[in-house]
Amino acid sequence: MCNKKFASILVVLPIVFMLLVPTSVPAAEKVIKWRMQVLWDPGTLPYQVEEKFVARVNEMTNGRLQIKLFAPGSLVPTAQMLDSLQAGMIDMMKQYEGYYIGKMPEVAFTSALPLGFTDAWQFETWFWQLGGVELLREAYAKQGCYYIAPTIYGQEPIHSKFPIHSVEDMKGKKGRFVGLAGPVMTKLGASVTPLPTAEVYSALEKGVIDFADRGGLAANYDAGLYEVAKYIILPGFHQPTTATCYVANMSAWNKLPKDIQAIVEAAAREASAELFQLHLVKGAEALEKFKEKGCEVIYLPDSEIKKIRKVAIEVWEEYAGKSDIARQVLDSQEAWMKQLGLI
């Protein structure tokens, strides 16, 4: 009989203990709240990926890190996100580094390299296996920031209000380009302005610009560019592969527990893989939709691409000469491109 009573107590005690132990996050592990501004318009494919990213971080940290997403310009102008991050006005940004190549010339090569890498996986390999991420973490540390991870996908097209069949057709025209594409297009004779991504539609609509880079085909369709530019120019020589990036304020990053840091990095790489895949699938679908909306797709001939490549390589060298780390980044990338047979 005693044994039966003792067995009953053993069964009941764990149940009582479970009722007494709180199931929520312990008070010692308080909720951390971050603000992150992104560069993509709400409703577009890349913005939806960012929504999944913050939800994923919340899920994997059991709510210990909650990142609030802010649309372009809602907290600070897109081109000022790095400055605001350094000042602690925001905790994290999702940015295209081409906006600040004047301040950090090395990122001229890590955002997009005109007529450089031809495939996103080539670029991905350079970042994660050939020292790219380490170089960027070193560079951003000097800015008081922590480089978390790139988000890498394929080419971006040019959307134009006029047909482009050659380099000559671009001369004297007003274009929107950011990053190393800007000086390349300027050397080709265009008048370039680095407008924020979210302003491209209105600038084309109002005639402020004649042609523009903006994003991938799916994102550009979501933004309605078929309404304001009837020509799509391929290949995307100015941006054959693209990398945006997750960067955090260094002080905010260092305050995160190590496991949450690891979760954020893992979620960032997961988001990159998802956007890469969606860029391929949705981009092909979007191209057909653009055609259905009356857009004409023009493919530049190899003879014109060769002319542009010569100018692009000249610009590579100009920016590599702007800092020691810029030179180091380009040398590393060129060594990989030579292995791949690209140059």
Of 32, 139, 170, which Cα lies nearest the Cα of 92? 32
Domain edges within the chain: 32-155+241-282, 158-240+293-340
Question: Which CATH class for the 32-155+241-282 domain?
Answer: alpha beta
Q: What is the mean pLDDT of the chain?
A: 92
For residue 125, how many other CB atoms are within 10 A of its CB?
16
Of 78, 59, 63, 66, which Cα lies nearest the Cα of 35? 66
Token output for 317: 């060298």
Check if 32-155+241-282 and 158-240+293-340 are the same fold: yes
Of 140, 156, 151, which Cα lies nearest the Cα of 81? 140
Q: Which residues contact 57 (CB under 8 A, 6 or more apart)?
A: 65, 67, 263, 264, 267
Exposed, middle or buried: residue 45 (CB in 10 Å: 0-12, 13-18, 19+)? buried
Model confidence pLDDT, tens digit, residues 184-226: 999 999 999 999 999 999 999 999 999 999 999 999 999 999 9
Q: Report the b/e string of 173-209 with b at 16+ CB within 10 A.
A: bbbbbbbbbbbbbebbebebbebbbbbbbebbeeeeb
Determine contact, residues 173/305, Cβ cutoff 8 Å: no
pLDDT at 285: 97
Residue 330 confidence (pLDDT) above 90: yes
Q: Which CATH superfamily is domain 158-240+293-340 in?
A: Bacterial extracellular solute-binding protein, family 7 (3.40.190.170)
Please report where in the chains the tokens 């909720």 appear, as a residue. Answer: 31
- Tell me the angle at which helices 132-141 and 324-340 cross, rounded to the nearest 10 degrees: 170
Q: Measured on CA atoms in the order 331, 337, 340, 343, is the torsion positive or negative?
A: negative
Token output for 144: 């008081």
Rounded to two decimals, what is the model's pTM?
Answer: 0.89
Residue 23 confidence (pLDDT) above 50: no
Peptide bond before residue 235 is cis, with ω within 30 degrees of 0: yes
Strands (E), 145-268: 145-153, 158-160, 174-176, 191-193, 211-213, 231-234, 242-249
Token output for 342: 């690209």
Model confidence pLDDT, tens digit, residues 159-183: 999 999 999 999 999 999 999 999 9
Facing residues of 299 across strands?
Answer: 234
119-142 average pLDDT score? 97
84-100 average pLDDT score? 97
pLDDT at 28: 55
Determine contact, residues 103/70, Cβ cutoff 8 Å: no
pLDDT at 160: 98
Residue 11 confidence (pLDDT) above 90: no
Q: How many residues does the chain have?
A: 343
Residue 16 confidence (pLDDT) above 60: no
Residue 313 confidence (pLDDT) above 90: yes
Residue 10 confidence (pLDDT) above 80: no
